A and B are shown apart, each in its own frame.
Chain A
Amino acid sequence: MKSKVADRIATSVFVALALIIVIIMAGLLFFILSRGVPDISWRFLTTESSTVSAGGGIRDQLFNSFYVLFITMLITVPLGVLGGIYMAEYAKQNKVTSFIRSCIELLASLPSIVVGMFGLLVFVNAMGWGYSILGGALALTIFNIPVMVRVSEDAIRAVPREQKEASLALGISHWHSIKTVLIPGAFPGILTGTILASGRVFGEAAALLFTAGLSTPGLDYGNWNPFSETSPLNLFRPAETLAVHIWAVNTNGIMPDVERIADGSSAVLVICVLMFNLLARWAGKLVHRKITASR
């Protein structure tokens, strides 16, 4: 009898804990979206931000976020996938491999502000680039590579062994088998992981604070020459991303409509990240169905 009572009490405790989690999480989402969504308008998304007067938007910040994300992924994806191939196919069971694993683990657990400090030391000061998009993207690459390596390694290992063996048995070289059998087989997994990692990079702020900076020069969106000062595509200009903007506005914003901008920007950021997450699930499933024989 006593143990049954204890069981009932424990069950209700677990239900209560789960309820608390659900309430906190639902409250969070509801709070951000209900406050921010009314502030989002086409004007808000396409107006330049203003430092002193009311009515600013987030056009440059939004563009910077996507541009930094794009550059980061351009560097991270090849590096991460090749690193994943090494870990899954070429790494032997020895000290070197376990050292590389420790390195990946360490990179994965570095506080993002430490990565930002490293970026400040190397890209901003030593290289003399100043605050730049490229510096920010490289800092984010450091922060993101462990995730990509792990994702690609897992995806490659998950390809059935028989497929690789069949390819090798046909006399096809190891590298060619990787290119034509393993990578296509692992593609859905790698794609899902990449989109999820993009969501993480998109919301990252601390590593960008000291590398991409807190300002954006005046941009001319008609200017597509990446070497021009006013071009949005210039890799060596400072760029404040949306996540950094939310922090900056909240800590030292002096415009009269700080709250509106913070609410709206947070909602835009959260919506973007949630879309990345949903897209990852959906795209992974879709591609998997397209390129494999499963339903």
Chain B
Amino acid sequence: MKKIETSTARQRLLKSNNKGSQGELRGRFLVTLCALIMIAATISITAFLTVKGLQSFLVNGVSPIEFITSSDWNPTSSKNPQYGALPFIFGSLAVTFLSALVAAPLGIGGAIFMTEVTPSWGKKILQPVIELLVGIPSVVYGFIGLTVLVPFIRNTFEAPQAGFSLLAGTIVLSVMILPTITTIATDTMGAIPDSLREGSYALGATRWQTIRKVLIPAVLPSLLTAIVLGMARAFGEALAVQMVIGNVHDLPSSILDPSATLTTIITLNMGHTAYGSVENNTLWSMGLILLIISFLFILIIRFLSSRRKI
């Protein structure tokens, strides 16, 4: 009787042990495979876009210097086609910085309002609502820009091209990245330990002095990260900007002039140009520039997070 019991127990142990180690190996294999897939995806995106993006320079003989510095874009001219992408690079950078300039003070101010001025209902009502707005699709922002903002600019400022302008693009992007910046900034401000606030108040500082001299300096790198993330989003946005910016090939001379960005030109022309043609290849070069600049944004974010104190 006793003998049977021990043997079944041993068998069971052996069996479960065996099964366990097999599952362990299989599980480890599965998760490592998934990690490898992520590496493979990143490397292949970088490699494919680099190879394809360099083709216009290496195969078609477009000068990279001209591509980045010339403002003449005439790819369809049969005699003397010109490939200067400066207006688009400038347009991309201009809308990115201008929209950050509008959205950053608003977003960080809103975050400070929610965490420092009225923490009770700010956190309970405002914060969830703004988080909800992060999810609104960018085409919807573009659509509103097209139906409200563009006619408004046309009527108010008598803008040259019916209101399609750098200004319209900037405002659409500012509103689009506002929830992003506000949400991250609120999380940052909310994570500051209360001891910092209490210490400052105990020294007799007012709320504004506390915010300006203690809280903001303490989380400055994180707040800057919020702004850079917003800028990265604005820089990569294509359709919302394309709908309102006018998409012309010239450098804008004022904020009311129509303009174009790298993303809008890619969006517009990718479908209209023959795959493999020089013009099409220059679009891939613009994609490569987008890729390189998003690498730069990551480097900046890395640098900022290495300086984080809290």
Contact = CB atoms under 8 A, between A and B. Distances in A.
B105 to A, nearest CB: 7
A109 B297 contact: yes
A181 to B, nearest CB: 13
Contacts of A112: 236, 238
A174 B20 CA distance: 9
Interface stretch (B111-119, B191-199, B250-258): B111-119
A79 interface: yes
Interface residues of B, number: 88
Given A121-B52, A246-B143, A21 B182 contact: yes
Interface residues of A, number: 90
Given A31-B144, A178-B27, A82 B105 contact: no
Given A13-B109, A15-B117, A262-B143, A274 B132 contact: yes
Contacts of B39: 99-100, 103
Nearest to A178: B27
Contacts of A246: 139-140, 143
A194 to B, nearest CB: 14
Interface string B135-178: 11111101110111000000000000000000000000001001
A209 interface: yes
Given A18-B110, A79-B34, A111 B235 contact: yes
A203 B20 contact: no
Contact of B270 (A28, A120, A145): A120
**Chain B at the A interface: SS class:** helix
B190 interface: no
The residue among A22, A86, A149, A179 with the most chain B CB atoms within 10 A of its own CB is: A86
B27 A203 contact: no
Contacts of A145: 38, 41
The residue among A176, A247, A251, A278 with the most chain B CB atoms within 10 A of its own CB is: A247
B126 interface: yes
A6 B206 CA distance: 9
Contacts of A125: 275
A109 B232 contact: yes
A93 interface: no
A196 B32 CA distance: 26
A3 B206 contact: yes
Contacts of B77: none
B133 interface: yes
Contacts of A85: 31
Given A114-B290, A246-B143, A173 B105 contact: no
A278 B52 CA distance: 42
Contacts of B239: 205-206, 209, 247
Contacts of A118: 44-45, 48-49
A289 to B, nearest CB: 19
Interface string B96-134: 000000000111011011101100001000101111110
A164 B239 CA distance: 46
Interface stretch (B4-12, B82-90, B207-215): B207-215
Nearest to A120: B270
B24 A117 contact: no
A25 interface: yes
Interface in B24-53: 24, 26-28, 30-35, 37-39, 41-45, 48-49, 52
B263 interface: yes
Interface string A102-116: 111111011111110
B243 A250 contact: yes
13 contacts: A7-B209, A14-B113, A21-B107, A103-B38, A104-B38, A106-B295, A109-B294, A113-B238, A117-B270, A118-B44, A173-B23, A247-B239, A277-B135
- 5 interchain residue pairs of minimum CB distance: A111-B236, A203-B137, A17-B109, A175-B27, A10-B208
Interface of B: 20-21, 23-24, 26-28, 30-35, 37-39, 41-45, 48-49, 52, 105-107, 109-110, 112-114, 116-117, 122, 126, 128-133, 135-140, 142-144, 146-148, 175, 178-179, 182, 206-209, 211-212, 229, 232, 235-239, 242-243, 263, 266-267, 270-271, 275, 284, 287, 290-291, 294-295, 297-298, 301
Given A83-B38, A111-B263, 6 more contacts: A18-B114, A173-B23, A175-B28, A209-B239, A243-B139, A277-B132
